[in-house]
Structure 1
Amino acid sequence: MGFPGTWMTESESLVYRVVPKCACSSIGQIMYYSDHGEFFDGDIHDATGGLHKWALDHSQPKIEANVRAHKSYSFTCVRNPYTRILSSFFDKICGIQRNGKRYRGNLVPMLIQKYGIEVGDPDNGFEFDQIESFRRFLLFARDTIRWRRPMDPDIHWSAMAGHVSTFIVNGGQYDNIFWTESFNDGMDSVLKAVETPVPVDIEAIPRFNESEGHGPKRAHPVEDYFDDLSMHLVYEIYKRDFLLFKYDFENPGNKMPIGEIDLDEVHAKLGN
């Protein structure tokens, strides 16, 4: 199986397991900058050079050799499950993608037909009932994850624990897992642990939010989107994420973690 979703600097200073919707654009650009002294011109997900990625054939032997021997500092970043699934909805379902089209072609028309979801469109300023549509999307996300229908789960809303675990199961070991909600502190702790070819001042780094600006803005506080049924569905899908990464299931309005991540616990529970 190897190490899907794994990126590594060309200098092999850092190894990162990408978790979608968890600051991956910013992290990739910081890694790129730490080798080259400049940012990648464009979306870092499109880069085919300057950064090793498992998706690039020539990178795989280098990543595999490094990770199996734990030669470099390895890390990942996680996010509150409530805000992550909301962000996936606004970005992937309601938003227009980089190519000017809807995400995954016929996905949105299928959701409109089968689940009664509305997504609005740029011409009317994305006017629609966000709360009702999001809750219907949550049913769809649960169906994909629980029963793999009407399609396999998408990487943007499949559980973080699943992404994090492939790295461990295939022989990797994390030195650090930090929270998107305290990004600068977390990323700084990674950078302080290694020597990079180019020093990085985390406070001076711009944010790279490639999903921003091409869809509707969230019109309500996070907690308004989650009634009792929605919270039940979220817990059904993301129970391990809440428990392992120490997020507050009881209060969707609290995006901050309520405990410290225990790396030994993560390796033990996700490593089999």
Structure 2
Amino acid sequence: MNFPGTWMTESESVVYRVVPKCACSTIGQIMYYSDHGQFFDGDIHDAKDGLHKWAHDDSKPLIATNVQSHKSYAFTCVRNPYTRILSSFFDKICGIQRSGNRYRGNLVPMIAQKYGIEVEGDFDQIKSFRRFLLFARDTIRWRKPMDPDIHWSDMSGHISTFIVNGGAYDNIFWTEKFNDGMQSVLDDIETPHKVTLQDIPRFNESEGHGPKRAHPVEDYFDDLSMHLVYEMYKKDFRLFKYDFEDPSNKMPLGEIDLDEIHAKLGD
């Protein structure tokens, strides 16, 4: 059984299914701190030790055994689909990555040519973002001109792999209510080092990669854009209780139902 995107503390106090663009840098650093009493020096995504990750071969059997027996508390975190796809655009399409290069090499030149996206200088953010949405939709619906990237593939898809392969979540919380959600996880687990959440900085590793968002969230989404977002993220809106009708409302409308999520994503 495979558990891609799954991280686990070395003490096996907690298991986390990473969902890109959903506070994963901060969560990873909290997990690292809870075991070691200090933060990882750098981007937690680059950590090769101090945290079990499915991407590391020696961690795979430990994670698989833990998850399939539900030995440890397991959780994940989700985000409003409107703000998540916007964040992906500014970070991955407009931004220069920590390597000093554009994301995925020729990706940006390719979609600039095929979709007319501009990302240089004082470009029209709304126009370019809406063209990016067409590209993202094409990758998700038709897997053309490439497979969807993990940063804009739907959250339900990430979260379902954990369930389909035999895992179960004890908690799924919203990025928009991060402190409440993360505290509810910490309240339910025992860690080698105590984590005082109000003292933890936010590790937004994508901040500064790209230009600042120049407009309110809702200005980027006209009727067609909303249709495309719903086409891509219908399950995410429904399962995680976000407001499709109003892009300006990033807050959820109801409570997450874990039983519903396990039933609908476990097929």
TM-score normalized by the length of structure 1: 0.98
Aligned positions of 1:40-119 closer than 5 A: 40-119=40-119
Q: 2:139 aligns with which of 140, 144, 149?
A: 144
- CA deviation after TM superposition for structure 1 residue 214, in Å: 1.9
Give the aligned partner of residue 250 of structure 1: 245
Pair 1:10 & 2:10 matched:
yes
Deviation at 1:127, TM superposition (A): 1.1
Is 1:194 aligned to 2:189, yes or no?
A: yes
For 1:119 and 1:208, locate their aligned partners in 2 and report how far apart those are by CA, in whole Å: 25
Structure 2 alignment gaps of length 5 or more: none
Question: How far is 1:150 from its partner?
Answer: 0.2
Q: Partners in 2 of 1:176 and 1:196 — Cα distance?
A: 17
Cα offset, 1:67, TM superposition: 0.1
Question: Could you tell me how far apart the structure 1 residues matched to 2:108 and 2:2 are?
Answer: 32
Distance 1:244 1:103 in 2: 30
Q: How many residues align?
A: 267
Note the alpha carbon deviations across 1:49-69, whole angstroms, 9 max, x for none: 000000000000000000000
Question: Partners of 1:257 and 1:207 in 2: how far apart?
Answer: 21
- Tell me the secondary structure at the aligned position of residue 59 of structure 2: helix
Report the Cα distance in structure 2 between the residues aligned to 1:157 and 1:16, rounded to whole angstroms.
19
Q: What is the identity, as a one-letter code, of the residue corresponding to 2:131?
A: R
What's the TM-score once normalised by structure 2's chain length? 1.00
Mapped partners of 1:257, 1:240: distance in 2: 14
* Separation in structure 1 between the aligned mates of residue 29 and residue 94 of structure 2, nearest angstrom: 26
In the aligned structure 1, how far is the partner of 2:209 from the partner of 2:143?
28
Cα RMSD of the aligned pairs, angstroms, is 0.5
How far has the Cα of 1:236 moved from its partner? 0.2
What CA deviation, in whole Å up to 9, does each residue of 1:244-265 have, x standing for no partner?
Answer: 0000000000000000000000
Match of 1:209 in 2: 204
Identity percentage of aligned residues? 82
| d(CA) in 2 for partners of 1:214, 1:56 | 27
Moved over 4 A (4+): none
- The amino acid across from 2:85 in the alignment is I
